[in-house]
């Protein structure tokens, strides 16, 4: 199955170009082969892109993975910090051991110590059984502390001691246990600013900041957006049992210009929503909307219906727009009006064939 990203149709005086990305095979082009290597779903599962910014990150991953050094991943929400952490683990000598995660922002302060270090039976009200913590579960493997900037201040010195001495005690126990854990931490906070504000310990920061890796936001690597769109379209089309093989290049260009405050996670959610709303085999985009504005599902469905109606008529007229048997006449609109709507909806009349397979582009 292939997914085509089709560029806008040029006038006779302009150059036109069609860019096609295949799902299973790529055209013998240097940039495409590089994309195949860097996106490398077989090499870096889930990490998709060919930008120089992403390549630099993956080079650092390869370098640090071979060591046991503590890694601090820095990046905005939605940039894929956990994917990078997993990539480091899977390339390390601990890859056959556990990869354990703990989101520091998702655990109430009152339960955090128990979640991290574990507890003995009767250690506190409700502790009816003995329980190992995430640190103990990650022994000989990797512990990923996500959103480490949200760790309760009172537990930061305990984590520091564990990192320095490789020992810990369960809550309610006086027994010191040894642990062999490789730590990867991640945050979207400015830890140095938090240190100035007395919200984060400087000694813990320096212990975590052995090998920092900054993951660039999506707006700094817009060249990766077409590959990400293809990847997520395939993922959700297969999951929903849909046949989608064409992406309007005009929409790709609009996505490249969006500032993506939610980064790759926002793009993935957008594509999932678009696949749900797509009635045919051409991806019907719902463009990103400001966080303050609610998603207008009825408007998105209206766009899909209009796309399908115009394409149905064009198939019946074999791509003819004007004339007594053309699509404009059949739709009851002026030729210029129909061409304008086709341009906005990304429909290319010349690519429409009597076959059920067709291509779509911005006219």
Alpha helices in 52-175 (DSSP H): 52-65, 81-90, 109-117, 134-137, 156-165
What span, in angstroms and rounded, lies between the C-alpha atoms of 281 and 284?
A: 9
> Mind listing the domains of the chain with CATH numbers?
2-27+219-351 (1.10.8.60), 52-215 (3.40.50.300)
Would the pLDDT of 301 be above 50?
Answer: no
Confidence of residue 363 (pLDDT cuts 50, 70, 90): very low
Separation CA 320–CA 349 (nearest Å): 7
pLDDT band at 31 (very low <50, low <70, confident <90, very high): very low
Confidence of residue 328 (pLDDT cuts 50, 70, 90): confident
Alpha-carbon distance of 126 to 119, in angstroms, equals 11
- pLDDT tens column, 86-132: 999 999 999 999 999 999 988 888 788 888 998 888 777 777 787 88
Residue pair 169/177 in contact by the 8 Å Cβ criterion: yes
Residues 6+ apart with CB under 8 A from 213: 57, 60, 61, 64, 71, 72, 73, 74, 84
Residue 299 has pLDDT above 60, yes or no: no
DSSP string, 245-272: -EEEHHHHHHHHHS--TTHHHHHHHHHH
**Strand order through the sheet with 246-248:** 19-22, 2-6, 246-248
Q: How far is residue 233's CA from residue 212's CA, in Å, rounded to a whole number? A: 32
350/360: higher pLDDT: 350
Query: What is the share, in percent, of the chain residues with pLDDT greater than 70?
Result: 77
Residue 280's pLDDT is: 81
pLDDT at residue 149 is higher than 90: yes
Q: What is the DSSP letter of 218?
A: G
Give the model's pLDDT for residue 221.
94
Average pLDDT, the chain: 79
H or E segment and range at residue 297 = helix 297-316
């Amino acid at each position: 199955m292939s997914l085509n990203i089709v560029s806008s149709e040029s006038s006779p005086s302009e150059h036109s170009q069609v860019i096609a990305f295949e799902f299973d095979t790529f055209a013998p082009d240097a940039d495409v082969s590089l994309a195949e290597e860097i996106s490398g779903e077989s090499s870096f599962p889930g990490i998709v892109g060919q930008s120089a910014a992403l390549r630099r990150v993956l080079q650092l991953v390869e370098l640090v993975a071979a060591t046991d050094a503590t890694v601090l991943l820095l990046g905005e929400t939605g940039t894929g910090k956990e994917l990078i952490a997993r990539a480091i683990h899977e390339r390390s000598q601990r890859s056959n051991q556990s990869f354990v995660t703990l989101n520091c922002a998702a655990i109430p302060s009152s339960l955090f110590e128990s979640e991290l270090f574990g507890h003995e039976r009767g250690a506190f009200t409700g502790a009816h059984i003995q329980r190992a913590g995430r640190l103990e579960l990650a022994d000989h493997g990797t512990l990923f502390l996500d959103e480490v900037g949200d760790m309760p201040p009172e537990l930061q010195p305990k984590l520091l001691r564990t990192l320095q001495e490789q020992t810990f005690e369960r809550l309610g126990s006086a027994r010191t246990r040894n642990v062999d854990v490789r730590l990867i931490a991640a945050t979207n906070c400015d830890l140095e600013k938090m240190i100035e504000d007395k919200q984060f310990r400087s000694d813990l920061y320096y212990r975590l900041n052995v090998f920092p890796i900054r993951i660039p936001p999506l707006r700094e690597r817009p060249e990766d957006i077409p590959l990400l769109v293809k990847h997520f379209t395939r993922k959700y089309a297969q999951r929903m049992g849909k046949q989608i093989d064409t992406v309007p290049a005009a929409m790709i260009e609009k996505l490249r210009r969006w500032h993506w405050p939610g980064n790759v996670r926002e793009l993935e959610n957008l594509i999932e929503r678009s696949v749900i709303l797509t009635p045919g085999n051409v991806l019907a985009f719902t463009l990103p909307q400001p966080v303050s504005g609610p998603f207008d599902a009825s408007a998105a469905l209206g766009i899909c219906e209009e796309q399908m109606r115009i394409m149905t008529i064009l198939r019946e007229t074999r791509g003819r727009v004007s004339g007594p048997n053309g699509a404009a006449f059949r739709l009851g609109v002026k030729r210029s009006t129909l061409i304008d709507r086709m341009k906005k909806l990304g429909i290319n009349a010349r690519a429409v064939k009597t076959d059920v397979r067709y291509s779509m582009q911005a006219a």
